[in-house]
Amino acid sequence: MIKYLTYLTLLSSILFSSVSKQIIKNDSKSFIIEINIDALTESDLYPTSLLLGLPTEKLPKIKIDYRNESPIPFRSAQSNDEGFKWVNQQKLKNLETATLLVSPMSSSSNKYYKNINIKFNFDDSGTNYRQPNKSEIELLNNRIMNWDIAKDWVIDNKKRNSRISTLPSGRWLKFSLAKDGINSIPFSSISPLITDIAELNPRSFSIFMTNELGRSRTQEFNQPMTDNLIEISIMVTGEEDETFDNNDKIIFYGRGPSGFDVSEDEILWHQNLYFNSNICWLLIPDDSQRLGKRIQQIQQPNSGTLIDYGIVSSSC
């Protein structure tokens, strides 16, 4: 009989938690939470862990109000160290986070606090946020205490391409790409179209694509259509002599309408349901002093193992 009563007591302790959390306030300026403890077992006296989303790397200011100091109704092995500490400050899925450990123990012998009220005041100087994606929501939704507000603090790490409001005047040559890869446009492909190409400064040559660099912008309805073009970085071999000759070519990386896209830490296949090619434009500007956007070259390291993966290109 005693054995069954022991099982029943343990089961009731599991089913009816004696530590509860109640959110009092949750907005972009502050977060207030109250921890209520009715100590029945040793585990009820363990420090409570609160994982918070933050608008910046700066930890919030904290005000803690300990209330209702009470005797522990059993012999406890917990030390009488009241207080709190920050642990595990890190970025989770592009959200700044930190974990606060709060002990319910009182400095008085064999006593604890039944009610702990905690107020966090956030640094709201952060910028450059975006809406969370599906994987971020799935991971953080049930883990971040203040997710209803913290979901607006997901950091936007995407590189912003500069948009051209007024396109330069010049000769625009249209071509298309069917798949992702490194492409080249040799002198022989341009010279039949522009007879004076050898007399022009190749430093001014540019390539433009649509905002999504070939992919469909979205598959949702009622979305605004943008008419801007984005200049991409290219490399023009032999442009140092400021002439475009038989052995010279334009090399660039371009995307087709469908392919694998990297979004934060995910690799997803994007299927374009509307187009089977990416329309691109080669600009030969009237103003030869206008410099096109170029791929930045880096210096080869002097030590370590050099691996040459080669280069695969397809001519447009």
Q: How many CB atoms sit inside 10 A of residue 78's CB?
A: 17
Q: Which residues of 251-290 are buried (b: 16+ CB within 10 A; e: fewer)?
A: bbebbbbbbeeeeeeeeeebebeeeeebebbbbbbeeeeb
The confidence score (pLDDT) of residue 87 equals 86
Helix residue ranges per DSSP H, 99-193: 134-140, 147-150, 187-190
The confidence score (pLDDT) of residue 14 equals 45
Integer Cα distance of 256 and 92 in angstroms: 32
Enclosing H/E stretch for 91? strand 83-92
User: Is 1 exposed, middle or buried, given 0-12, 13-18 or 19+ CB atoms closer than 10 A?
Assistant: exposed
Integer Cα distance of 38 and 184 in angstroms: 71
Q: Alpha carbon of 263 to those of 22, 90, 137, 182, 267: distances in Å?
A: 35, 20, 14, 20, 6
The confidence score (pLDDT) of residue 93 equals 85
**Could you give the dihedral angle defined by the CA atoms of residues 246, 252, 253 and 257, in that order, rounded to the nearest 10 degrees?**
-80
The confidence score (pLDDT) of residue 23 equals 94
Residues pairing with 261 in the sheet: 268
Integer Cα distance of 234 and 180 in angstroms: 15
The confidence score (pLDDT) of residue 201 equals 93
CA 255 from chain centre, in angstroms, equals 22
- What does pLDDT average to in each consecutive run of 10 residues of the chain (316 residues)? 44 60 93 94 91 92 93 86 84 90 89 94 84 89 93 79 70 92 93 90 92 72 62 93 92 91 76 85 91 82 59 52
User: pTM above 0.95?
Assistant: no
Helix residue ranges per DSSP H, 67-179: 134-140, 147-150
| Residue bearing tokens 């099982």 | 7
Closest CA to 46 of 103, 106, 84: 103
The confidence score (pLDDT) of residue 158 equals 64
The confidence score (pLDDT) of residue 61 equals 93
Integer Cα distance of 236 and 233 in angstroms: 10
